[in-house]
């Protein structure tokens, strides 16, 4: 029972992190039409940025966390212009290649440039290793609790922003109908750049949360993350925010339980078997299209 | 600058879609407080003129002046911000947003008090206030047109361009739409109105331009055109 509860909690934590990543994928898909395959690698690059600053400042947490977040925004904004010509032409395939290229390049930078290509480790102070909550045999690090709470806050803050603010309405207008948005005097280009910056900000935050909860990172994390994100996107149907949140949580829990009870990590195999079945029998995804 | 009270002056604009010429050397103007009709068949270039004014389609020659300022090369964003709104065919309402959200989107460049503006639009269209939290996609064609016009009014525009507002609506609703347009004129708005419903348009327009395959064939006051045998033959059913 204790194992189950521990795995369940860790699964919900993992799922809520996936949820933030999936939100970013959906945001970019809805506003710009781009499935940004390289996004997860860029997110891990922010973890490296945080690690680099932590190392350089003798583990100054505030500077390290800021570096992760700021690098996310910078990476998002700086890479946006690469996509703009393709967004305008709705050239999905070319944009896909650009995003893949960004992921591959940043993956190589991380694995050859930093730390002799070894996985990086974050200081235990970031993971708040000293503070734990224990319940029977279940011991949860404070870092994990913070990750869980923070990612839930991020999700709700994003939904609030999207549904209740002027900028959020503008994003949704572009997502629903680019032509009408343009007629209303919305600059589709500016909105696209803004959504890249926003996805970057969320990516930077998520990078810090990943660092907090796992304590390590390597360029492989990006590859594994993009696979999870794709699984969730196809399960929930691309562009469906609410469905994405639910499926991300389910995937996190399934992954965590599978790791607790099965020899080896079968999550991707399980998840993508379900994806194949769903695509065959319910091509619009579990939740269908929704804006 | 010319000494006139033109809100909009279009001089010799041409728009091409690839190699196909949509409008050729079109010149027209609209004066303050006027309803100016653009009539003609589908594909004659009426919508293209409006899209060129809004900067969505670029003219390859000529100039467009709005309130004495050259807007020919301005971005759509700045053109809208300067006071021109366009209601496209069918209204262009965003179906997955509420009526209120649609209206709020009409005011993204509005500098004044948003709540006052919203109140004014609700006074004009009380039904929109009742249903403000309903998704726009659940509305009928006539109601959507109302949302579209309401949304256009949110920015307190100086020029209102309505593209086929009566298209696809039942006769009763069409009459309602034209009443709304006349009310808007009384409220002081300058209106450019593109319509296939030539009779109704000529009845309420101060002046009108008759389009045929990208050219302006005729222009005159609504009365003159209603009496013109060519117009009667081609657009008013003889």
For B46-176, list the strands marked E by DSSP: 61-66, 69-70, 84-87, 159-163
Question: Pairing mode, if any, of strands B35-40 and B191-195?
Answer: parallel
Buried-exposed string A17-42: b where 16+ CB fall within 10 A, e elsewhere: bbbbbbbbbbbbbbbbbbbbbbbbbb
Share of chain B above pLDDT 70, in %: 98
* B104/A contact by beta carbon, under 8 A: yes
Give the separation between CA A7 and CA A15, rounded to whole angstroms: 12
**Does the pLDDT at position B31 exceed 80?**
yes
Query: What's CA B181's distance to the chain center, in Å?
Result: 10
* B156/A contact by beta carbon, under 8 A: no
The answer to whether residue B13 sits within a structural domain is: no
Other C-beta atoms closer than 10 Å to the C-beta of B13 total: 24
DSSP string, A58-118: TS-HHHHHHHHHHHHHHHHHHHHHHHHHHHHHT-HHHHHHHHHHHHHHHHHHHHHHSGGGP
The answer to whether residue B10 sits within a structural domain is: no
* B76/A contact by beta carbon, under 8 A: yes
- Chain A hits for B96, Cβ within 8 Å: 172, 176, 290-291
Taking only the tens place, the pLDDT of each residue in B42-59 is: 889 999 999 999 999 999
For chain A, list residues whose CB is within 8 angstroms of any CB belonging to chain B.
166, 169-170, 172-173, 176-177, 179-180, 182-187, 190, 290-291
DSSP state of B224: H
Residue for token pair 């103007």? B29
pLDDT score for A246: 93
* B94/A contact by beta carbon, under 8 A: yes
Residue for token pair 């990943």? A210
Residue for token pair 């010149």? B27
- Chain A hits for B56, Cβ within 8 Å: 182-183
Name the token pair of A187: 């600059």
Dihedral of CA A257/A263/A264/A266: which sign?
negative
Query: What's CA B69's distance to the chain center, in Å?
Result: 20
Residue for token pair 């369940």? A8
Question: Is A26:A239 a contact under the CB 8 Å cutoff?
Answer: yes
Buried-exposed string A220-236: b where 16+ CB fall within 10 A, e elsewhere: ebbeebbebbbbbbbbb
CA distance A170 to chain B (A): 7
pLDDT score for B23: 95
Asked if the A2-281 domain carries CATH number 1.10.3470, the reply is yes
CA distance A174 to chain B (A): 10
* B109/A contact by beta carbon, under 8 A: yes
Average pLDDT along chain A, 291 residues, taken 10 residues at a time: 85 94 95 94 96 94 96 97 91 93 93 85 86 78 89 95 95 94 96 97 96 90 92 89 92 88 81 84 73 50
Q: How many domains does chain B have?
A: 1
Give the separation between CA B191 and CA B189, rounded to whole angstroms: 6
Alpha-carbon distances, residue A43 vs A49, A152, A191, A207, A221 (angstroms): 10, 18, 21, 6, 10
Binary contact (B80, A166; C-beta < 8 A): no
The answer to whether residue B67 sits within a structural domain is: no
pLDDT score for A290: 55
Give the one of A183, A186, A290 whose C-beta lies nearest to B54's C-beta: A183
Taking only the tens place, the pLDDT of each residue in B130-183 is: 999 999 999 999 999 999 999 999 999 999 999 999 998 999 999 999 999 999
Taking only the tens place, the pLDDT of each residue in B17-28 is: 999 999 999 999
Give the one of B77, B92, B101 whose C-beta lies nearest to A185's C-beta: B77
CB neighbour list of residue B179: distance below 8 Å, 6 or more residues apart: none
The answer to whether residue B12 sits within a structural domain is: no
Q: Please, which pLDDT band fits residue B5 given cuts at 50, 70 and 90?
A: confident
Residue in A closest to B87 by C-alpha: A183
User: Backbone phi, then psi, for B44, in 5-degree steps?
Assistant: -80, -10
Q: Please, which pLDDT band fits residue B1 given cuts at 50, 70 and 90?
A: very low
Choose from A176, A184, A186, A194 for mutation: most chain B CBs within 10 A. A184
pLDDT score for B158: 96
* B114/A contact by beta carbon, under 8 A: no
* ipTM attached to this prediction: 0.92
Which sequence spans correspond to the domains of chain A?
2-281
Binary contact (B95, A169; C-beta < 8 A): no
Name the token pair of A114: 């930093």
Residue in B closest to A171 by C-alpha: B105
User: pTM, whole model, 2 decimals?
Assistant: 0.91
Average pLDDT over residues B210-237: 92
Binary contact (B92, A166; C-beta < 8 A): no
Residue B156, domain extent: 31-58+75-235
CATH number, domain with residue B178: 3.40.50.300
Give the separation between CA B147 and CA B103, rounded to whole angstroms: 7
Residue in A closest to B89 by C-alpha: A180
């Amino acid at each position: 029972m204790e194992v189950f509860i521990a795995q369940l909690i860790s699964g919900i934590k993992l799922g809520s992190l996936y949820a933030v990543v999936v939100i970013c994928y959906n945001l970019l898909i809805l506003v710009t039409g781009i499935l940004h395959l390289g996004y997860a690698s860029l997110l891990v690059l922010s973890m490296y940025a945080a690690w680099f600053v932590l190392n350089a400042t003798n583990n100054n947490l505030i500077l390290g966390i800021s570096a992760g977040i700021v690098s996310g925004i910078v990476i998002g904004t700086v890479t946006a212009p690469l996509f703009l010509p393709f967004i305008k032409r709705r050239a999905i395939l070319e944009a896909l290649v650009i995003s893949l290229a960004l992921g591959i390049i940043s993956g190589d930078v991380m694995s050859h440039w930093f730390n002799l290509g070894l996985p990086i480790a974050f200081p235990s102070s970031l993971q708040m290793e000293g503070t734990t909550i224990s319940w029977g045999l279940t011991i949860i690090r404070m870092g994990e609790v913070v990750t869980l709470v923070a990612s839930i806050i991020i999700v709700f803050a994003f939904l609030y922003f999207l549904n209740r603010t002027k900028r959020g309405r503008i994003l949704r207008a572009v997502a629903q109908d680019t032509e009408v948005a343009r007629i209303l005097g919305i600059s589709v280009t500016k909105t696209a750049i803004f959504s890249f910056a926003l996805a970057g900000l969320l990516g930077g935050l998520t990078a810090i949360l990943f660092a907090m909860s796992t304590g390590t990172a390597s360029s492989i994390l990006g590859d594994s993350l993009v696979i999870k994100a794709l699984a969730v996107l196809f399960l929930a149907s691309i562009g469906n925010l609410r469905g994405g949140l639910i499926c991300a949580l389910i995937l996190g829990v399934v992954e965590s339980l599978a790791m607790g009870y099965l020899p080896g990590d079968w999550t991707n195999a399980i998840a993508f078997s379900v994806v194949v079945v769903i695509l065959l029998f319910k091509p619009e995804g579990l939740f269908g299209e929704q804006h | 600058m010319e000494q006139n009270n033109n809100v909009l002056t279009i001089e010799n604009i041409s728009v091409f879609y690839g190699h196909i010429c949509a409008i050729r050397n079109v010149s027209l103007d609209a004066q303050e407080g006027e309803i100016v009709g653009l009539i003609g068949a589908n594909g004659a270039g009426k919508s293209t003129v409006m899209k060129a004014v809004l900067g969505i389609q670029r003219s390859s020659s000529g100039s467009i002046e709005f309130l004495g300022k050259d807007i020919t090369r301005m971005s759509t964003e700045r053109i809208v911000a300067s006071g021109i709104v366009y209601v496209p065919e069918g209204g262009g309402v965003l179906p997955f947003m509420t009526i209120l959200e649609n209206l709020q989107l009409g005011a993204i460049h509005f500098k004044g008090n948003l709540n006052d503006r919203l109140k004014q639009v609700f006074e004009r269209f009380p039904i929109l206030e009742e249903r403000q939290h309903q998704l726009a996609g659940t509305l009928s064609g006539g109601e959507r047109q109302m949302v579209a016009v309401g949304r256009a009014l949110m920015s307190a525009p100086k020029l209102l361009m309505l593209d086929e507002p009566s298209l696809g609506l039942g006769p009763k609703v069409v009459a309602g739409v034209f009443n709304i347009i006349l009310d808007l004129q009384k409220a002081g708005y300058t209106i450019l109105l593109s319509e296939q419903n030539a009779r109704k348009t000529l009845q309420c327009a101060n002046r009108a331009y008759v389009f045929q395959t990208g050219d302006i064939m005729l222009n005159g006051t609504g009365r003159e055109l209603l009496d013109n045998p060519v117009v009667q033959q081609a657009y008013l059913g003889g």
